Amino acid sequence: MLVSDAQTPVSWRTRPRSFVALMGLYESNYIRLGWLAGELAQLRGEYCSRLPGDCDLLLTVTERAAYTSTLGLTYLLPGTHGPTPYPDLRVRVYHDAHLVEAQQWSETHRQPLLRALRRGAERELDQRWARNMMLNKWLEYCVERGHRFSACTEPATGA
């Protein structure tokens, strides 16, 4: 198993934003989500990673099948009426292929860069690129902040 996506050998030249490059991005997402959650095929239920000075990070397994899992991944942003989930991603894990795809994210974005990224994606391939580049960078950010999900992580309660 690869520890870093920077060590992933590339045996072909690919055009940026192409389907082939998108599959490479899905592979990178799998590696980065593994940094956060360990063995992805073993995840069940809900997990919450809490760090001082950062928002709670919530991972929820919503569907399990033989070769795939569907997860919800979001920050819980503090608000006047309780925590607000954002960016509220739906993520599909393909266990056999070692790929992770961001399938859906919030309908509206308060963050201007995410709003512009979503608005600029007209074709389906562009939309997939936008969602999955965001997921890729966010996963790296969460790991750098110190977030982790594991058997020791507190299960989420009342989130």
Rounded distance, CA 149 to CA 71, Å?
13
Specify the 3-state DSSP secondary structure of 28.
helix
The whole-chain average pLDDT of the chain stands at: 83
pLDDT of residue 4: 60
Evaluated on CA atoms 141, 116, 122, 14, the torsion sign reads negative
Rounded distance, CA 144 to CA 122, Å?
31
pLDDT of residue 159: 43
pLDDT of residue 7: 60
Rounded distance, CA 58 to CA 40, Å?
15
Grade residue 117 by pLDDT with cuts at 50, 70 and 90: low
